[in-house]
Structure 1
Amino acid sequence: MTPLPEDLSPRVSEDDRDMAVQRLQEAYAEGHISHEEMDERLNQALTAKAHGELVSALAALPEENAGTTSTIAAHSGRIQRRGAWRVPRILKVESAFGKVHLDLSRAVIEHPVVDIELHLGSGSAKITMPRDAIVDIEDLHTAWKDTRYKPRRPRPGGPRIRISGTMEFGRLKIRHARR
């Protein structure tokens, strides 16, 4: 069973509902549930008013392993992650043509160190960091434009985000969230 936040308030938040829907979609994509079962559970998750109903919708799913490597890839178009999404320990982002926007400011970061490997052809990338993140870009290689980033004085307790990989004909902009 996939754990939900410890706060068992009577009302289900949109973030909790979104995480449950994402988990059900992942379970379907991995072949753990049938299409019909996913439809039934999605309906249950989307209409849930209490956390117990979400737990029921996620019952009997295999444990989610947030420590694995995840890859986001697109040949062209936009790659975007924002809101309360779960950041894996290693995130690989691959795009031949297109824009990439990763917003980590409200993401669920469960690891003290997160590695983001960028492999981008042409197109720009923008990464919004949590306010307290420590950013390391030493292993990022750019062929055309320099990375735009003003390091901040690190605050204790924040995650270390290491960005590596290659960018051919685009620019990476990194900024910290204002709040």
Structure 2
Amino acid sequence: MTLSQEDPLTPVADDDRDAALRRVRDAYGQGHLSHEELEERIQRVLTARTRGDLGPALDALPAEPDSAATVLAAVGRIRRGRGWRVPRTLTVASAFAKVRLDLSRAVLEHPVVDIELRLGTGSARIVVPRDAVVELDAVVAPMKDTRYRARARTGADGPAGPRIRITGTLGFGRLTVRHARR
């Protein structure tokens, strides 16, 4: 669902504002906007209070590419570590694979990352950034309990980091999620 299809009176969320800013900057980078138009549209996005207010800033811009979704599928091991670009939506599918994803050393370009697991007998271990907020409500692992201990947040921690939403099923495997130590 795009912003224009949603209720225009809904307050603008940080994720919506970030997505709108990214879209305006991308359009400028592709030569669709002049420097003056860029400044005007950024100002509109930053001052928007409702989703309807974002409409004029996004009018006549090219549609967002649908390249934010990626599927990792393998029979063997699936491993991602230092420096990989994490897509907005990631699906990990395998009947037998051991999955190791280190998001703490990855390039996170999106404030929210959705990871869907479709694993048969394999297990998954995911390391998230120290300040990440993790949501595991929709994980189904009937054979083994999911292991995750939420990091205690204090007021001195500053704003929360990226939100990592993990969903899906693990047939016989276990999901282990932990925060990076540094």
TM range (shorter): 0.5 to 0.7
- Verify the 8 A CA contact 1:66 1:89 in the aligned structure 2: no
Q: Which runs of 5+ in 2 are unaligned?
A: 1-64
Distance 1:82 1:66, change over 3 A: farther
* Counterpart code for 2:138: D
* Match in the other structure for 2:170: 167
Distance 1:66 1:87, change over 3 A: farther
> Rg: which structure is higher?
2
* Counterpart code for 2:70: S
* Counterpart code for 2:73: A
Q: Deviations over 1:35-78 (max 9, x none)?
A: xxxxxxxxxxxxxxxxxxxxxxxxxxxxxx6951000001x210
Aligned-partner SS, 1:98: coil
- Verify the 8 A CA contact 2:140 2:170 in the aligned structure 1: yes
The runs of at least 4 aligned residues of structure 1 exceeding 6 Å deviation read none
* Counterpart code for 1:71: V
- For 1:88 and 1:78, locate their aligned partners in 2 and report how far apart those are by CA, in whole Å: 19
* Match in the other structure for 2:135: 136
- Verify the 8 A CA contact 2:133 2:160 in the aligned structure 1: no
> Which among 155, 161, 164 is matched to residue 158 of structure 1?
161
* Match in the other structure for 2:145: 146
Matches within 5 A, 1:14-53: none
* Counterpart code for 2:100: H
- Verify the 8 A CA contact 2:111 2:161 in the aligned structure 1: yes
- For 1:147 and 1:141, locate their aligned partners in 2 and report how far apart those are by CA, in whole Å: 9
> Which among 154, 157, 179 is matched to residue 176 of structure 1?
179
Give the alignment's Cα RMSD to 1 decimal: 1.4
* Counterpart code for 1:94: A
Q: Deviations over 1:121-146 (max 9, x none)?
A: 00111000100100000011112101
- For 1:129 and 1:163, locate their aligned partners in 2 and report how far apart those are by CA, in whole Å: 11
Matches within 5 A, 1:4-153: 68-74=68-74, 76-153=75-152
- For 1:133 and 1:70, locate their aligned partners in 2 and report how far apart those are by CA, in whole Å: 21
Aligned residue-pair number: 114
* Counterpart code for 1:120: L
Q: For residue 115 of structure 1, report the CA deviation from its aligned partner.
A: 0.1
* Counterpart code for 1:106: R
Q: TM-score, normalised by structure 1?
A: 0.61
Distance 1:66 1:161, change over 3 A: farther
